[in-house]
Structure 1
Amino acid sequence: MIEGDRELSAIIQELWDNDIKRLRPGIDYRISLQGKAGDRAGCSDGNDAAGLPLFTFVDENIFKKETFLAFISLLDNYESDTGEPEIVTPEEELENHKFLDSVLKTPTMKIAHRYLVEKHLSPEDITDLKQQLYRIWFELYARRGSSKPDSSGFEHVFVGETRGGHTVIGFHNWIQLYLQEKLGHIDYKGYSVDANSPQPDDNKHILALQFCWKNGIKPKGSIFIGVSPEFEFALYTLCFLTSPNERVKVSFNIYEVEIVCHHYNQKHIGTTYPVLVKYLNVSPKKGVD
C-alpha cells in the first residue's frame, strides 16, 4: 500500500469510528444471503439463487434521523432511464441543499472537510464547500450515449439508473436497495463472489450482489450495508478529490477495500463504490462492529 493510501486509510478509519448512526448487523438490521448468484445474468431466465428478499429486518427508527430523512427525500427526484433528460425543480434543488446542510453538520463530514482543507483540495468556507459538493454530486451531465444532461453523481451512485431497459447501472446504496425491495421493485438474485473474493458474511458491512430492478439486471454490484449516508458521502468525496488514479486501496476496521471512483470530466463523480479485497486478521476496536 502506498503512503498516500495509508494516510487516507487513517482518515477513513476516523470516519468509521465517528459514524455514530451506523446500524449494527444482526441487531439493527438482518440480511439473508442465501445462494451464490449465477454467471448467466437475466431477470426472467429462472437463474435465481435467492428465493427470499435480502433484507429480513431493518429498524426503521433510524430513518427518522436528520441525514437519513434528507437522503431518502432525494430518492424519488430522478428519471432512471439514461437518455431521458433530468429536470430539477426548485423543490428538488431545495432538497439537495437540505441534504448537504444536514451532512455538513455531522462528525464524519467535518473530519473529511478538515483533511481536504489541509490538502488544499477544498475551500475552508462552508458556503464555498457546499458549492464544490453540489458540483461534484448534483450538477447534471450527459452520460454516454446521451446528448442532454440525464445524470448526476448522486443519481448514479445512490439512486441507480437503467440503460436500454435491460441493464441497471450505478445503484450502490443499501437504503435505496432496502426501500425498493420493500416496495417489491427489487428481486435479489444472490451474492457475488469470484476466486479472489472473500466469502460474504451477513454480519459484515460490505456485500457484492446481483439483483433485478425495473426489468433490468445488475449483474454484479457492490455496496456498504448499514452505514449512514454521511459516511458514504464523506468517504466517496475524499476519494474523488484525493485520488486521480480512480482506484484507491484502503484499510479500516476489519476491511481491506478498493474504492473505485471514476471521474467524469474531472468535475463530477461518474461512479464510485467499494470492492472488498479481504478481511483483515485483526480484532475490531472496542465499540466498533
Structure 2
Amino acid sequence: MLVKICAFKQASSTRTNSTTGLNPLSCPKPTDHFSLYASEQAKAEQEEPDPVSCSLQSTEGPTGHIMIEADRELSAMVQDIWDKDVNRLKPGTDYRISLQGKAGPVNADMNDDMNDDMNDDNDGAGYPLFSFVDERIFKKESFLAFISLLDNYESDTGEPEIVTPEEEAENHKFLDCMLRTPTMKIAHKYLVEKQLSPEGLPEFKKQLYRIWFELYARRGASKPDSSGFEHVFVGETRGGRTVIGFHNWIQLYLQEKLGHIDYKGYSVNANSPQPDENKHILALQFSWKNGIKPKGSIFVGVSPEFEFALYTLCFLVSPNERVKVFFSIYEVDIVCHHYNQKHIGTTYPVLVKYQKEQKN
C-alpha cells in the first residue's frame, strides 16, 4: 500500500506514539508557530558527550582525501553490510521524498515576538518531506521490532526514564531480531576477529544492550534520562525548545505522518554536495514538538539492521569521534561520540561527497 501523507501540526504529548496515523492527504503544510531557542540553536550537534581523542596514522584514500589507515578495512566491512541490506527501500519506487528548498538560517537573536515572520521567511518547504512510503515494508520483522520501541521514551531530557518489564522485553526482542540479520552477522564476525566483541551470542547481546539501551544521565540531569538508542533513533528535546539526536528516517516519517514534524528544507554548505532525492543520505532542518533541529543528518530508506550494524561497528572499532568510510557511491564521515567509554552518546552520517557511480 502506497501511503501519501500530509503533516498537520498537532498538540503532542511528551511520549512519542508511533502507531497512530492521519488520513493520507495531499496538501500544503499549515503555518506553525513554535518558540525558537536562543543560545543553544547554534549548537545543534554540540549536545553530545565529549568525544574520545586519539591520534592514528593517516594515508591518502582512494579519492585523494586523507583517511585513517584502519578505515580501509572498515570501509570494506561497511560495503559488505550495505550489499547485504536486503530490506533497503528503493528511492522513487518504495518511497519518495520532496526536497523542495534550502532551509534558512536559524537566527539565535530573534525574540519570540518575531518568530512568526522569521518562520515563514526561513521555511524552505511548503510540503512534507515524504510524499509517499510503501508501508508494506513496516510489516517485516526488523521494522516491526524497531517501531515497537519508538514509543518507549520520555522525550524531555532531565525526565528520568522508567523502563517497564514490557519495554525491556521489547528491547530484547529487537536485539534478538538484529542478531538474526545478515548485516549484524557480518558485523559480529568482524568484531570477534578484532577481539572487540565476545563470540557467544548471549554475551554479544549483553554488550549490545549496554551500548544501546543502558540508561545514563545526560548533561545537566541528576538521574538516568537517556540512552544511545533513544538519542539516535527516537530523538530528545531539551528545555522544550531544542531537538537533539533524532537521526532516523523511520521515526521522521512516522512523526511527520502524525503531524508532529514540520520539515523546513534541506541543509547544505559550500563544501557539501547538493542533496538528491534518489540518494540515501540527507541533511535537513525540521521542527518537532515545538523545538527546532537547525541541522540534522540521516540515512533515508535503509533498514534498521543496516544502521544498527554500521553504528555498532564504528563505536567499537574507532576511538575517534569521526570515522571516514567509503561504500557504494558515498564517501561518508560517521560521527560517533562515546559516553563514558561504555555507551553511545550520539552517532550519525555526514555526507562528504558522491563517488563515481558504482552500485545503488
The TM tier, using the shorter chain, reads: over 0.9
Identity %: 82
Runs of 4+ in 1 over 6 A off after TM superposition: none
Partner of 2:93: 27
The equivalent position to 2:152 in structure 1, one of 77, 94, 103, is 77
Residues 97-156 of structure 1, C-alpha deviation per residue, up to 9 Å, x if partnerless? 000000100000000000000000000000000000000000000000101000000000
Partner of 1:53: 128
What CA distance in whole angstroms lies between the structure 1 residues aligned with 2:296 and 2:239? 18
* TM-score of the pair, normalised by structure 1: 0.97
The equivalent position to 2:355 in structure 1, one of 259, 273, 280, is 280
Partner of 2:76: 10
Give the letter aligned to residue 282 of structure 1: E
Task: Give structure 2 stretches of 5+ with no counterpart.
Answer: 1-66, 109-114
CA shift in 2, pair 1:55/1:176, >3 Å: same
What SS does structure 2 have at the residue aligned with 1:238?
helix
* TM-score of the pair, normalised by structure 2: 0.78
Q: CA deviation at 1:41?
A: 5.5
Q: CA deviation at 1:246?
A: 1.4
What SS does structure 2 have at the residue aligned with 1:111?
helix
What SS does structure 2 have at the residue aligned with 1:103?
helix
What CA distance in whole angstroms lies between the structure 2 residues aligned with 1:145 and 1:263? 17
The equivalent position to 2:193 in structure 1, one of 101, 105, 118, is 118
Partner of 1:253: 328
Give the letter aligned to residue 242 of structure 1: V
Task: Give structure 1 stretches of 5+ with no counterpart.
Answer: none
What CA distance in whole angstroms lies between the structure 1 residues aligned with 2:69 and 2:292? 38
1:23–1:226 CA contact under 8 A, matched in 2? yes
| Largest Rg, 1 or 2 | 2
What SS does structure 2 have at the residue aligned with 1:95?
helix
Q: CA deviation at 1:12?
A: 0.1
What CA distance in whole angstroms lies between the structure 2 residues aligned with 1:37 and 1:148? 36
What CA distance in whole angstroms lies between the structure 2 residues aligned with 1:64 and 1:98? 15
What CA distance in whole angstroms lies between the structure 1 residues aligned with 2:358 and 2:350? 21
What CA distance in whole angstroms lies between the structure 2 residues aligned with 1:41 and 1:87? 36
Residues 173-202 of structure 1, C-alpha deviation per residue, up to 9 Å, x if partnerless? 000000000000000000000000100000
